[in-house]
Structures are given as structure tokens and as C-alpha cells.
Amino acid sequence: MSRRPSLVRAVHGPSTARSRRTFLRGSLGALALPFLHSALPRSAWASTTGGGSCPRRLLYWYVPNGMQMDYWTPSAEGAGYDLPPILEPLAAVQSHVSVLTGLSQNAGFDDRPGDHARGTGCFLTARTVHFTAGDDIENGISCDQVAAQELGDATLFPSLQLGIEGGGITGDCDSGYSCAYSRNISWAGPATPLPSMIDPVLVFERLFGASADGLSPEETARRLTLRASVLDYVLEDAQRLQGRLGRADSLKLDEYLTGVRELEQRVQALGEGVCTPGDAPPFDAVLPDTVRLMSDLTVTAFECDLTRIVTFMMGNAGSYRGHPHLGISEAHHELSHHGGDADKIDKLVTIAQWEIEEFAYMVQRLAEVEEADGSRLIDNTLAMLSSEIEDGDSHYHRNMPVLLAGAGGGTVTPGRHIRYGAEEPIADLFIAMLSSFGVELDAFGDDGTKPLDGLA
């Protein structure tokens, strides 16, 4: 998948951007120019999120079934911390990633069973969910949606919800808790979970245009003609911009135009015949590819300023998925109830290493993309990784496994191991991340009262 085509909202002024979005939403999707700082009107130079020259982004990664903390927690604090076995994949990006030890998700505690559902339901809301398997679900708004509501329509998509396991929101998924809690981390309101898109092809089509699959030959031809005309319009629009751009933006625009020409060639090739796909491969067989594609789509969506807020679920609560690509056929959830069994722990560490390897890939991709002001995407992003529980055997919600990558536009000093007290609420981290995004809160969730200390 090419990284160069920038299918994104326009940045040449409010009226032009609005009319283009209206036209494209009614036809094929969002197709305009990449984020070019020098192409913005001077009145808009200070209006990017957080007040900096480039937009801020928020990314929340969820991994199921907890971690084995003895193989996770560094012994050294500060910069240059040691990398225990699970964190070894961070070696190449360690300067971008902090380990936050001692944070608690207190909203996940309860005397009744159902820690996976409770911990996932409150993952980004920090609210204790209502115990029900019926339609009377109740949660809080998640921190990603607080940011999305503040952002409004500054991007085509206020937020994206991505994942690799699907399922409905009805029924009992964990000891009497609704599947809505187990399968969603993004909540627009107390009874409004936002399901994840799990098919990279559909995500790509949503971001960059409609699919021709299942259309009549006439409708397919019409859409191809329309898409080609949109490409012509964008190329003409871009060429008019050339004289207004600084050197860095001019180079970026040249790269973009090259990508558009490549896209045009692919569109023309589509017109020569529509292929018929064969049977879908087994889902487990494409798991690694699916995760990588979701990471690439996330980075491209950030780079093109299609959205600034993404959540990603690397499985549902208490996921029973196997990992045949790692030589592990047993269900992840069953392994997580290890009871101290050395063989099960070894397999859990292998799964966790792969999860962190994929997170490190995402961080590396963010570090490779240059922004309009010469910074990198990772410099203007905060990406959090955590789980619904501490350890799959204990089901605790204290001392959660938490990684925080990126600098948040200079609000965070990355690359450190920071140790907190065992009762420090993770909700304070959410307040700090929102603050980096330009959203100031006095409280969040059940127990968040202030921005988490020690991040700057």
C-alpha cells in the first residue's frame, strides 16, 4: 500500500474546504491536499490543536488479557531504562516510549466476576460500568470522544475506531456483563459504544473512497469516471498552490503529486476490468498482516489529517484467539489463567512480545513521517498502550501495564521509566493526554482529579 497519496481535506480556506468536502462526501470520499503549513491562511496558523504549528494526535491501543508483569517492569527508572523480555521489541524506539508503572484502573474493581468486561468497558472512560447483560447498558464518555467532540469538524473523521475482532453489542460476554463492554473501548455517551472497524479493506474504502464491488458495470464506469475527474481537479488545484509554498511544503507537494499520478494509474487500471475475489483466507492466518495494515492506515490518516484521534483494539476482552503465526494454538485467554505454569507463561511472554513488536512498528512509522514544520508525527502524538487487567491470572486492576509513546507537541518528555504509587489513577493520565490535545479538564471518570505528574 502506497503511503504517498494524500486523500485529505483541503487547507486553502474555510469556504473552499467546505464546498470540496460537501461535493466529495456525495461522490467518492475525501480527496484533496496534504497538510501544508505554508498553504494555510495566516489567520489559521495558530489554530491547530494545542496552539502549535502542527496538529496534535491521540492514539489509544488496547491489548487483551493483561501482561506478565515480572517480564514487563524495568528495574531502572528514568531515561535509559532496561528492557525486560516483553519490552525488548522497543529497543529501536525506546527514546520515544515511556513505561508508566503503578497506575490503577480503579473503575474495574468489583467483588463479582467479570473483570475482563469491566476492565475493557472502563478502559478509556474510567467509569464503573452498570452490571447488565441487557439493553440497559451504562458507562461514561471515553476520553477519545471528549477530544473528538472538542475537535468538532476540523477533520473529515472526528475519530476512528479500529480493531481485529468484531461482534455485536448484545448478549452476555462475561459473567453477566454485556458484550457492549467487552467489545468496545470508545464510548460517545453512557449508552453509545462505537464499534471498531476490523476489515482493513473497508477502513481504506471509508477513508479514501467507495468500493466498486457489487456495482453494475454502468455504475462502476460512472464512479471511475467521477474519480478520475476528481483527480484532475486536485492536480489542477495543487499546481496553483506551487508558487505560494515554502521549500519544505513544495517538496511535500511534489511527493503528493507523484502519489496522485500513481493513484490515477491504478484507477485507470481498474477500468480495464473488475476482479472477482476468491474465498477469504482464515482470519487467524492473516492476523499479523491485519494488524500491520491497521497501523499503516492509522499513520496515513494522521499524516493526511483525515483524523487526529484513533483507538485500536488488538482483540476483544478476554480474547480466546489463538496465535498460530507464533506457533501457539492455545486460546490466549486460557493461557492467561496460567497458575504459575512455566510453559503457559513462556507462551504468554511470546504473545506479549509480538504485541509490543507491533506497537513498536507503529511508533517507528510515526517517527518516519516528517511534518510541515520539520518535526515528526511522533513528536506531535501521544500513543498509549494498556490492557483491561494487570495479569491474566490475578485479574487485578492495580499496577496496570502502561506505555506512553510520543511527545504530545512538547508537553511530554518521552523515553523514561516513571514509577508511581500503586493508587495513582490512570484517569489522571487521560486528563494529561487531553491537556496535550488542548482540552483542559478538572476531573475525569470516577477518580481523575488532575493531569498526571511527571510527564513533562
Last residue of a domain, one of 276, 305, 325: 276
Q: Examine the domain organization and report whether 294 and 384 are in the same domain.
A: yes
Calculate the alpha carbon distances from 54 to 16, 47, 149, 165 in Å: 21, 9, 19, 33
Q: Is 183 inside a domain boundary?
A: yes
Q: Examine the domain organization and report whether 239 and 258 are in the same domain.
A: yes
Can you read off the three cell numbers belonging to residue 408?
504530545
* 25 and 9 Cβ atoms separated by less than 8 Å: no
Tens of pLDDT along the chain (456 residues) come to 333 333 332 223 333 333 433 333 333 334 445 555 555 543 333 335 544 579 999 999 999 999 999 999 999 999 999 999 999 999 999 999 999 999 999 999 998 998 999 999 999 999 999 999 999 999 999 999 999 999 988 888 899 999 999 888 999 999 999 999 999 999 999 999 999 999 887 887 777 664 545 555 566 556 556 555 555 666 666 666 766 777 777 776 676 666 556 545 544 443 443 323 233 333 444 688 899 989 988 998 898 888 999 999 999 999 999 999 999 999 999 999 999 999 999 999 999 999 999 999 999 999 999 988 889 999 999 999 999 999 878 888 889 999 999 999 999 999 999 999 868 999 999 999 999 999 999 999 999 999 999 999
* Identity of the amino acid at 251: L
Q: Examine the domain organization and report whether 188 and 158 are in the same domain.
A: yes
Residue-level pLDDT at 246: 72
* CB neighbour list of residue 72: distance below 8 Å, 6 or more residues apart: 84, 86, 87, 352, 401
Q: Examine the domain organization and report whether 306 and 380 are in the same domain.
A: yes
Q: Which domain holds residue 243?
A: 1-47+214-276
Q: Examine the domain organization and report whether 357 and 418 are in the same domain.
A: yes
Q: Examine the domain organization and report whether 87 and 65 are in the same domain.
A: yes
Q: Is 443 inside a domain boundary?
A: no
The Cα–Cα gap between 408 and 410 comes to 5
Can you read off the three cell numbers belonging to residue 311?
483507538
Q: Examine the domain organization and report whether 202 and 219 are in the same domain.
A: no
Residue-level pLDDT at 419: 97
As beta bridge partners, residue 100 has 402, 418
Residue-level pLDDT at 216: 57
Q: Is 248 inside a domain boundary?
A: yes
Residue-level pLDDT at 295: 92
Last residue of a domain, one of 276, 304, 326: 276
What's the total number of domains in the chain? Answer: 2
Q: Is 447 inside a domain boundary?
A: no
Q: Is 340 inside a domain boundary?
A: yes
Residue-level pLDDT at 203: 82
CATH number where 166 lies: 3.40.720
Q: Examine the domain organization and report whether 232 and 373 are in the same domain.
A: no
Q: Examine the domain organization and report whether 23 and 129 are in the same domain.
A: no
Q: Is 446 inside a domain boundary?
A: no
Q: Examine the domain organization and report whether 174 and 72 are in the same domain.
A: yes
Q: Is 310 inside a domain boundary?
A: yes
The Cα–Cα gap between 419 and 415 comes to 13
Q: Is 456 inside a domain boundary?
A: no
Give tens-digit pLDDT for 351-380.
999 999 999 999 999 999 998 888 999 999
Q: Examine the domain organization and report whether 114 and 255 are in the same domain.
A: no
Q: Examine the domain organization and report whether 190 and 178 are in the same domain.
A: yes
Residue-level pLDDT at 283: 41
